[in-house]
Structure formats: C-alpha cells, structure tokens
Chain A
C-alpha cells in the first residue's frame, strides 16, 4: 500500500532548503494558475517548466514511479471515455485533461518529495490553516505508518497460517475480520496515545519548538516561480 504522503529520503537540493512557507505558497499559487490554462501550447510550456523542477528535486525513481502509476490508473477511465466516446474533440480534451492532471500531481509530488511532513504542516499552520488541522495531518501521517505496519503483520500472520486471498465467502470473511481487528486496535492505540499525551501535560494546545526564518532567496524564488507561471497564464489568456 502506498500513499502520496509517504516520503522517500529527501535529497539536499535548493528546493529542500527553500523555506516551506514560501515554497507551499508558491506551489499553491502555481497549481491554481495551471488549472486556468486552456491551450495545449501553454500546458506544454508549463509541463517543460515542471519537468525541469522535478529533475532538480532528484526524487526517488521508484517512489515517483509508483505514484505516477496510481495517477495513470485514476485517469484511465476518463481517457478511455474521451478517446473512444462519441465526442468530436475528445482526443484534444483528453490531452488537456491529462496534461493538467499530470501538472497538478507533479507539483504536489515535488512539494512532498522536498519537504518533510512536519515542516510542511508547520508551514501550512503559518499560512493560516488551523493548527488543529495541521497537527491532525501530522499525527495521521505518523500513525498511518504504524497501522500499515500492523496490517502487514496481520497479513503475514494470516499467510503463515495458510490463508490465501480467494474469491470465496470464507476468504472475504477473514479479510473482514482482519480489518475489524485493525480498526479495534487503532481505537485502542488512539486511547493510549491520548493518555500518553495527557501524562506529558498536553491540554489541547500544541506549542512550537522551532521558529522558521525567511531569507531573501526564499522570497526571490517565490517571485520567480509565480512570475513564470503567471506569464504563461497571461500569454494563454491573451492568445485565446
């Protein structure tokens, strides 16, 4: 099981050193502008820029490949409908949709591949997202890993006792029971985590240990990135 938010080791690049607040703001604005693009030319120009960014972040090939495969799986039904349906401009619509989806996905993947989750959450908090939401995000990410490990252990235990997934009632019953065990243990763990937090004086308020700082280069990168995509969007609008 893979999630977009699962992080491979983060390479030390200019993107990973970029203040996450400015980086997320720049990528957020860029994503918004990309969704406004209409022509294939403008989308292709944006794609070139995003590919250059992706190369510079040096993401783990397998990490990116798996997530791209998930995106392709998600897009497949839309592509089939547009390409083989009775819509006359279907192939061009399919191309535009695919390019937009790939661009949005790729921009998100770059942020995930260059920013540790806790820094991204802290940046989101600084950008006005309620702290409760960002902390829930971090803790969900943290315990998703624990629960996935537990699910894998349950799977191993089932296999070592001769269980194989088959299209049979008994097999689905077993999978249902295993899922129930996972959910119950998740609830139990949530209670223990809450108790452990209370024992360490938690009263509902999270306090920051590290305070972020902004350099001139962080702002400059933000300006350059938004300007480039803004220029492509303006060109696209004027050309139309």
Chain B
C-alpha cells in the first residue's frame, strides 16, 4: 500500500509545489490524480518514485520510505514510473533490450529476465517489434514499449504521468485495456478525465499543490462545481449521461 502523510515540497527556494498532501492507497486500488497545469501532479509522482528528495517519514511504499537513501535504491523493485514523454524512457537501441534494461538492473538470473521480457512484450502487443529501434516507433508503440519496460520488472505499484499524451484514439484504447488488466496499485496523473474515469475507481483532485477532493471517480468527476474552478471539465461521457462501462463499451 501507499501512505502519504503531510507531504510538502518546493523546488530549490521557490514556492511550495505540494502543500501538506496526505492520502492512502490500498493494494489493488487504482487512483486518478487530476488537476490543472502546475497543480503538482508530476511532482507528487516524482516524490513517490524517490526521484525528488523528500524528508523521511512522509511517504511509505509498502515497507519502503523514499526519504531514506537505503530504501530509495530498493524502490525500482516495487514501483514503476511511466514518464510523460516515452522518449525520455526508451534509451536502448532495440525494443527487446530496452524492456530487459530494468530486470537486468535488478540482478535477476538470465532465464528469469528472458521470461519476463517475453511476457511483457506479449502483454503489450509488441510481438514482432522486438528488434525495432525504439525511436522509430509510433507514439502508441513507444508508449507500449515504455510500459513493457516497467511491466517486465513486475512492480506492485505503477505510476503513470499523462499516459494518454501523444496517443491517437486506437492507441489510447489499447492503453486503457492494458491498464485495466494490470492487477497492482495504479496512480494515474493527468488531464484526460475520460481515461481516469475508465481506469480508476477513485480520484484525487489536486490544485496549487493541495488536495481539493478525494472521492470515488463517479462522484468527483461529475461535480462540475469542483472541477471547473480548477480549469477542468466533466468528462464527455458523463456529460452525455451515457451508461458506459469502465472499459469504454456502451
């Protein structure tokens, strides 16, 4: 589980980007983190992933504390982060080698690495693209390759920052399916409220670094009075009053 208690963060000596943020996420739960630009969504994910320095005792990821140096090195085994721009994440010259990068870093035996890489490639539908150069893939394929690289590490927690950015409708639909099939904890940050509604049971609304609301997605995402002051809109599907299931089927 994830526990965040009274987390505040500021870059260098700038203004606070996160202000006294507290929430908990249970095992298997999917949570959307929504808010306008500059709300602190990406910063929150980077703090959770141990990329940004946080004081000890503010965050717990299972039994690990990203504020403690020793725990921070163990985080990649338990937590995977998908960045906004897949080009930041795909560094190897072939898709297969990129997917293997994380598992090899964890020091797993070669046979286990190969098995996990094969499974991650199949799960994300990248079969046949193993030897392709990642930077020559389409936006959707790059996103799937980035996901495969994290899936291969079998993390219990998946953090996604604006996962539908640069995706066409088909690639977005594939992404939603992949996310709904993933059994672990998911934290999905972004402005794509339709995607959040289709993948997350619960949503946290963040504005100016503070939590404005934390409620089931059906309730929070239909509250125009909460969303509109933050520059967000009720998802299209909810506005139309369609009776859609979460996988997007009417």
Contacts and interface: CB of A to CB of B under 8 A. Distances in A.
A195 B94 contact: no
A139 B98 CA distance: 12
Interface string B72-110: 010111011101010111011110110011101110000
A193 B88 contact: yes
Interface residues of B, number: 34
Binding site secondary structure of chain A:
helix
Contacts of B97: 118, 209-210
Contact of B105 (A142, A192, A201): A201
A145 interface: yes
Contacts of B76: 198-201
A97 B76 CA distance: 55
A195 B46 contact: yes
Given A118-B94, A192-B83, A202-B105, A142 B46 contact: no
A207 B93 CA distance: 14
A199 B77 contact: no
For A118, A196, A205, which residue has the most chain B Cβ atoms within 10 angstroms? A196
B153 interface: yes
Contact of B135 (A116, A142, A193, A201): A142
B91 A193 contact: yes
Given A117-B93, A142-B135, A199 B105 contact: no
B83 A207 contact: no
Contacts of B46: 195
A192 B49 contact: no
B140 to A, nearest CB: 18
Nearest to A118: B93
B113 A142 contact: no
B190 interface: no
B184 interface: no
B150 interface: yes
Interface of B: 46, 49-51, 73, 75-77, 79-81, 83, 85, 87-89, 91-94, 96-97, 100-102, 104-106, 113, 117, 135, 149-150, 153
Interface of A: 116-118, 138-139, 142, 145-146, 189, 192-193, 195-203, 205, 207, 209-210
